[in-house]
Amino acid sequence: MGLRERKKEKTRLAILDAALDLFLEQGYESTTVEQIAGAVEISPRTFFRYFTGKDHLVLLFHDHAEDLMLEALAQRPPDEPPFTCLMQAMRAVLADLEGATPEDAQRFLKLRRLLDDHPRLVGLSAARGAQTEQHLAEAIAARRGVNADEDQLTHLIVAFAMSTMRVGFECPRRDGTIGDVQHRMAESIALAERSLRPDWDL
C-alpha cells in the first residue's frame, strides 16, 4: 500500500471511529454527518468521498464479510459440495476475525452494541443480510449449474448456511469479547456440519 493509500485508509478509519463513538454517546438518529466530519476535522464533502452516508458506516462489516465469503467460494474446488463450500467461506470470515487488530476488534464490538440499541438498524442489517444471501445463492447456483431464480435447493443450502452464521454471531447472547464471538461461530459451524447427513446438498 502506497503513501496515498495509507493516508486514505487512515482517514477512513478515523471517520469510522468518530462515527461509532458519536453514535454510542448521543444516539444514531441524533448524530449528523456534519458532526462526524467535524470530529475528524474534515468537511462533509470529504466524508462523502469515503462513505455514502451513516447507514454505510453501520453496514461495513456486512460488506466486508460478503466480500470474504464470495472470494473464498471462488477459490473452492469445483466438485466440493455446496454446503461444505459455504462452511469454508464462513471459516474465512472467522479467520479474519481471529486476525483482527485490537482496534478492529473494538470497532466490530461497537457495531454490535449499536445494532442492539437501535431497532431500525436491526432491520437495515437484516435487509443487507438478505442481499448477501441472494449473492451467495447466485454463486452456489453457478457452481451447481442451475438457475438461482428457479432452484429451491440452492436457496435452502444458503439459508441453512446463513442461519449457521447468524446463530454463531448472536446466540445464545450477543455480548462478550471478540474471542467469545469467534468461539461461538466456530462451534455453530461445527454443529451444523455434524447435524446434516452427508451429500444432502447434492
Contact partners, residue 91, CB within 8 Å, separation at least 6: 72, 189
Given a cut of 70, is residue 19 above it in pLDDT? yes
Residue 180 has what pLDDT? 86
User: What is the DSSP code (8-state) at residue 42?
Assistant: -
Residue 48 has pLDDT above 80, yes or no: yes
Q: Which residue carries 457495531 as its cell?
A: 111
Within its chain, how far is the Cα of 44 from the centroid? 26
Question: CA 48 to CA 200: how far, in whole Å?
Answer: 46
Q: Which helix (H) or strand (E) covers residue 89, if one does?
A: helix 82-98
Domain with CATH 1.10.10.60 in the chain: 3-52
pLDDT at 5: 84
Q: Which regions of the chain carry the CATH code 1.10.357.10?
A: 59-195
Kindly state the helix (H) or strand (E) to which residue 39 belongs, with its residue range. Answer: helix 33-40
At residue 84, φ and ψ (nearest 5 deg) are: -60, -40
How do residues 67-108 score in pLDDT, each as one tens digit? 999 999 999 999 999 999 999 999 999 999 889 999 999 998
Per residue in 112-124, pLDDT tens? 889 888 888 989 9
Computed over every residue of the chain, the mean pLDDT equals 92
Q: What is the pLDDT of residue 117?
A: 80
Cβ-based burial of 165 (10 A; exposed 0-12, middle 13-18, buried ≥19): buried
Which CATH architecture does the domain made up of 3-52 adopt?
A: Orthogonal Bundle (1.10)
Q: What is the pLDDT of residues 145-191, one digit of tens each?
A: 999 999 999 999 999 999 999 888 877 566 678 888 888 899 999 99
| Candidate CATH numbers 3.30.300.170, 3.40.190.10, 1.10.645.10, 1.10.357.10; the one for domain 59-195 | 1.10.357.10
